[in-house]
Amino acid sequence: LSLIIPAYNEEHYIGACLDSVLPYAGKGIDEIIVVDNASTDRTSAIALSKPGVRVVHEAKKGLPAARERGRLEASGDLVAYIDADCRLHPAWLPLVTKIFTSQPKVISLSGPGHYWDATFWQRLILRFFWWASSPLM
């Protein structure tokens, strides 16, 4: 599994994101690629300070360009994307592994987000919309 993290001026978030991912490096996540999407802050420096993280640069601004650059750089059979302000939930990797190994016809997954910086009411509303639009298997 190649984990791709597009990042544009994410110096305040990328460190915590990578700290949530690094426990799974080599234990299901085979490579972690941060795509610096023309940042003007310390995003790259922070990402490079984390062990096992590779940083690639994409000069063309925009999420599609950053994601595509990450996909082209990835060497894994599976590719996953998370945003630089995300935290990887501990149950995410075991669930992804279980679904892709037990259901060979699955080609794509998405799941609910849990917004750690949202208010209680915002999280409640967002959880309802995820539940209504993307029921879990």
> What does the pLDDT look like over 57-95, one tens digit per residue?
999 999 999 999 999 999 999 999 999 998 988 888 998
% of the chain with per-residue pLDDT over 70 = 93
pLDDT for res 118: 78
pLDDT for res 114: 67
Three-state secondary structure string covering 33-88: EEEECCCCCCHHHHHHCCCCEEEEECCCCCHHHHHHHHHHHCCCCCEEECCCCCCC
Residue 134: which pLDDT band, with cuts at 50, 70 and 90? low
Nearest to 20 by CA among 85, 105, 117, 114: 85
Q: What is the pTM of this model?
A: 0.84
Residue 111: which pLDDT band, with cuts at 50, 70 and 90? low
